[in-house]
Amino acid sequence: MDKKDITKEMLHELGMLDVTKYSKQDIAFYSSTEWRNKSKKYKNLHPFCEVCKKDNIKKPSLIVHHIKRISQGGDRYDENNLLAICKKCHSEIHTGIGIRIDLDFIRSLVQKEPTPEDEWWAGGSHDLYLDKQKKIIDTINKAEAIEKNEIEKSIELYFNACMSIDDFEEILANDPLLEKAYCQEYGVSSFRTVRYPINRLSLLLEKSKRYADCIQLIRDYRKKTDKCGLTRSDLEAIQKRKDRVIKKV
């Protein structure tokens, strides 16, 4: 957002220009595979909310927003027209800044005793864990970028990312207050937002004819308690791949 000539106020104004409901054409676009892939890649490039970063706040980016709505002539895929943002910022853009001010004012009147989660959050430790997650995302992005030309190196990076996620999950398991505080602050169900790259990794293992490794990878993942989970399409893909590879062994 720093490179985009836009302010929060401008975002709110643009969000209020078109208050009509989404058309069938809009719904078809936002549910298309092409858009999902584009928004996924953009969020990977911008793992933290671009709006919150203006205030030096790190929140996970969960939604890719069009600065200028498609119905207003905005470009669908131009990254200059995209923002990776959190749910709160997305809601504020579409409901108007006045509502946000009213809600903040009401919240300021409510007095409550600080909880252990509040105190943990105030300590600032969460930045360390957000940085850990960003490093995992960077590793996955690097692996994806070299898949075609350096398949073995890509496989190695994907495995490293999986191990880093395992380590991350162990940290969360040993410090339940950390995840509880984070989920309370952002209104999410899991601290970790980056998914295991099982689909991409198993695909490369199959291409390399490392069939035993491919089967073992999928079986090991199935044993995990993964609160973040995989997308439905990835789950379907790895199951079909497992069935296919078993026949080859």
| Coil vs helix vs strand at 63 | strand
> What b/e sequence results for 124-135 when a residue is b if at least 16 CB atoms lie within 10 Å of its CB, and e otherwise?
eebeebbeebee
Cβ atoms < 10 Å from Cβ of 139? 21
Which helix (H) or strand (E) segment holds residue 94: the answer is helix 87-95
Compute the average pLDDT of residues 78-82: 88
Nearest residue to 228 (alpha-carbon basis) of 60, 29, 42: 60
Comparison of pLDDT for 168 and 245, the residue scoring more: 245
Nearest residue to 115 (alpha-carbon basis) of 192, 190, 185, 189: 185
**Tokens 């505080």 belong to residue:** 181
For residue range 125-171, what is the model confidence (pLDDT) as tens digits?
A: 666 677 788 899 999 999 999 999 999 999 999 999 999 999 888 87
Q: To 5 degrees, how large is the angle CA 117–CA 121–CA 171? A: 80
Residue 213 Cα distances to 45, 126, 153, 192, 243, angstroms = 29, 35, 15, 26, 14
Give the DSSP letter of residue 65. Answer: E
Give the DSSP letter of residue 113. Answer: P
C-alpha 10/C-alpha 54 separation (Å) is: 14
| Coil vs helix vs strand at 68 | coil
The answer to whether the CB of 64 falls within 8 A of the CB of 43 is: yes
For residue range 174-220, what is the model confidence (pLDDT) as tens digits?
A: 777 776 776 666 566 667 778 999 999 999 999 999 999 999 999 99
For residue range 15-74, what is the model confidence (pLDDT) as tens digits?
A: 555 444 455 566 677 777 788 888 888 888 888 888 888 778 888 888 888 887 777 778
**What pLDDT was estimated at residue 244?**
94
C-alpha 85/C-alpha 55 separation (Å) is: 13
Give the DSSP letter of residue 53. Answer: G
The amino acid at 66: H
Token readout for 18 is: 């078109």
